[in-house]
Structure 1
Amino acid sequence: MGACDIVTEANISSDIDSNATGVTAFSMPGWQLALWATAYLALVLVAVVGNATVIWIILAHRRMRTVTNYFIVNLALADLCMATFNAAFNFVYASHNIWYFGRAFCYFQNLFPITAMFVSIYSMTAIAADRYMAIVHPFQPRLSGPGTKAVIAGIWLVALALAFPQCFYSTITMDQGATKCVVAWPEDSGGKMLLLYHLTVIALIYFLPLVVMFVAYSVIGFKLWRRTVPGHQTHGANLRHLRAKKKDDIYCRKFIQQVYLVLFWLAMSSTMYNPIIYCCLNHRFRSGFRLAFRCCPWVTPTEEDKLELTHTPSLSVRVNRCHTKETLFLVGDVAPSEAANGQAGGPQDGGAYDF
């Protein structure tokens, strides 16, 4: 939520670090606040539990430690961080339009959750590129263990660099007696710095990932449409859009708080979809979820679920097509290039079309 009239540093009183309390124009009735709190609490719980379970399924079982799944771990970690820090604390901020958490956390809030959001987008892009190589070029060398870790580290560094300016220019202000955490960009000629930053973020976080994912999944879909492989399960990608904030007088109107809470909930709800999709559409993740929640009385894991995550099949099934020398590896196979790169953290069991 933005401030109607941003006050400069010179106008900040000496007791700024003490959180302002009281009733503002954006304070909601108790019943309305309880409904929103329930909605956001449900979102955070599903996202945190779901993504934490996905991380456990992959890291605790050697069979699940494939190149693609390491990118899924990175995506799950980013979504978990977004739900924990972005959704939870921004809801509290938006519910009264008062910043309760002090100056240091204002810097953190404008750095780490934004970094996690950028990491989430780039992780989906890396997954799309990895699936493109596995399906369209199955005999090309796959990423090794060190290579995968280097890509993940690069994703975090780029995301951190893109988010850092917002942290650097974060500040605490007082607006009509209420404490606000805002990003106060320097006043340069025509706001060129702010414009350059926004154009860079739009190009690197929106257009570039969108083009990569669109091209990768379009080529994959076309290839699979031409050559249908029995037993193959396709998986898509979630595209996220950046939230753009425009400082305007509209932020001073009461209804904008409800609009913001709805849109922000919808944006943050993307953090809980992926675990649900994995559980519904992938049998190994479904087995992993049953094992993770075996303490619940309504969940009954089977021996098949345990074997699904621990047993590595050694038989490779090959499908030879007529009039071609190409060999396609089905679920449970190890492509020659993956066998050579098995140091990615464990057996590269799921073949070109598997998690």
Structure 2
Amino acid sequence: MSTFSILNASNVSQTDSLEDSGNWTAVTQFTQPGWQIALWAITYSFIVITSIVGNVTIIWIILAHRRMRTATNYFIVNLALSDLLMSTFNTIFNFIYASHNVWYFGEEFCRFQNWFPITAMFVSIYSMTAVAAERYVAIIHPFKPRLSAGSTRVIIGIIWLVAFGLAFPQCFYAEITTDNGTTKCIVVWPDDVGSNTDQGGKATYHIAVIMLIYLLPLMVMFVAYSIIGITLWSNAVPGNHLNRVRYEHQVNAKKKFVKTMVVVVIIFAVCWLPYHIYFILGSFKEDIYQQKYIQQVYLAIFLLAMSSTMYNPIIYCCLNQRFRSGFKLAFRWCPCIKATEKDKLKLTSPSLYQTTHRKSRTTSFNTEAQLNEKEKTSFTLTQNGSLRCCHCTDFYYLYQNTMSFSY
């Protein structure tokens, strides 16, 4: 029995070889009527096509429009790329393997299939974590320097390198075996040799990977977005009317983006939870792989996990005006979709508010330069007897509004 394979049907595929005779083999062999395989194939194909089209469009929207090239959006590109590669190189091949219980694709691709899915999932969830961390710093600590393009590339590179290292054991121990004339792609851990147990290093690796690519980043994002939410939704806005309007515009934009990313994270967590539970149970209780309908269960769980690769573009399109305009531009050739000049301006030009604010900010700076020394340093006496600068609050909101925010 092979060990944990994050997106590998080998855990399921060997169940029919556990017994070579008797009625048990008859009820656990992975044979399906043609119509069932056709339905599964149509469903999986829909997910793959939707994922590829949606994620390619997201990458194009961000990279083809300078206005969209922010640190946060580069992490979204990384997330879209990992989802795109997952649906392209993993979903189809593992569906074929799980459906037919035969590995058709050779030893090298067997190693690749045991290595790349963990890599892609690690990149996906840590790209979301990077977005949460970047938003946390920008909103909770607005005076700290923002991530530069170079720093963003370094973080993305580190994410991929760590992902490669984490997935390497799966690749190293993957091999092709023959079972009753049928080719299998499995992961044979050292403690599997001459042992009928499924404990040891592979179970430890299984739990460690789930902690690193699921539980830990979800906990970090939960804490980050909780603090961000409390800050944004409970923050009072003192100051004059002009400052209040400016600040509320910034806060509303940030709220919309945070809501979008929270939905992305929740859907990711829900889609992958059954899959992780399935393999955790299988690590300690192998007989679940011997049940009569386990193939159908696996295909359904695998389908739910893979569907996570197609939801993000839909979420961005529904909840974000800029991405929605980008989708209109990308599919303007479709008769039912009309892209306007306004949609193009949303991706290439500053918003009307930011243009107006830039002009008003320039005017305010010119006016401030003409103020006398007494007005610049005016203070008021508070009720507790301390001095408060009349311009400190205004400066804080002015700084907040100079922060570029294009979501």
Q: Is the 8 A contact 1:110 1:167 kept in 2?
A: yes
For residue 78 of structure 2, what is the aligned residue in structure 1?
74
Distance 2:215 2:138 in 1: 24
When the two chains are superposed, the root-mean-square deviation of aligned CA atoms in Å is 2.5
Distance 1:334 1:327 in 2: 9
For residue 220 of structure 1, what is the aligned residue in structure 2?
228
For residue 126 of structure 2, what is the aligned residue in structure 1?
122
Deviation at 1:212, TM superposition (A): 1.1
Matches within 5 A, 1:81-96: 81-96=85-100
Q: 1:143 to 1:30 in 2, by over 3 A?
A: same
Q: Is the 8 A contact 1:46 1:272 kept in 2?
A: yes
Matches within 5 A, 1:164-243: 164-187=168-191, 191-227=199-235, 229-230=248-249, 231-232=252-253, 233=256, 234-235=258-259, 236=262, 237-238=264-265, 239-240=268-269, 241=272, 243=275
Deviation at 1:314, TM superposition (A): 4.3
Distance 2:120 2:331 in 1: 27
For residue 135 of structure 2, what is the aligned residue in structure 1?
131
For residue 331 of structure 2, what is the aligned residue in structure 1?
293
Rg comparison, structure with higher value = 2
For residue 113 of structure 1, what is the aligned residue in structure 2?
117
Q: 1:334 to 1:49 in 2, by over 3 A?
A: farther
Q: 1:180 to 1:302 in 2, by over 3 A?
A: same
Deviation at 1:328, TM superposition (A): 6.6
- Which letter maps to 1:311? S
**Residue in structure 2 matching 1:97, options 98, 101, 108:** 101
Distance 1:328 1:163 in 2: 47
CA displacement 1:324-352 (0-9 Å, x = unmatched): 4531778xx542xxxxxxxxxxxxx4x2x
Matches within 5 A, 1:1-355: 1=9, 2=11, 3-4=14-15, 25-187=29-191, 191-227=199-235, 229-230=248-249, 231-232=252-253, 233=256, 234-235=258-259, 236=262, 237-238=264-265, 239-240=268-269, 241=272, 243-244=275-276, 245=279, 246=282, 248-312=286-350, 313-316=354-357, 324-325=393-394, 326-327=396-397, 334-335=402-403, 349=404, 351=405, 354-355=406-407
Q: Is the 8 A contact 1:316 1:329 kept in 2?
A: no
- Which letter maps to 1:4? T
- Which letter maps to 2:121? M
Q: Is the 8 A contact 2:121 2:213 kept in 1?
A: no
Distance 1:71 1:270 in 2: 17
Moved more, 54-63 or 183-192: 183-192
Deviation at 1:222, TM superposition (A): 0.3
**What TM-score do you get using the length of structure 1 for normalisation?**
0.83
SS of corresponding position for 2:200:
helix
CA displacement 1:44-67 (0-9 Å, x = unmatched): 011110001000000000000000
SS of corresponding position for 1:187:
helix
Structure 2 residue runs of 5 or longer lacking an equivalent are: 1-8, 19-27, 237-247, 362-389
Work out the number of aligned pairs and report it.
320
Runs of 4+, deviation exceeding 4 Å: 188-191
Q: Is the 8 A contact 2:16 2:29 kept in 1?
A: no
- Which letter maps to 2:51? A
Q: Is the 8 A contact 1:71 1:123 kept in 2?
A: yes
Deviation at 1:138, TM superposition (A): 1.7
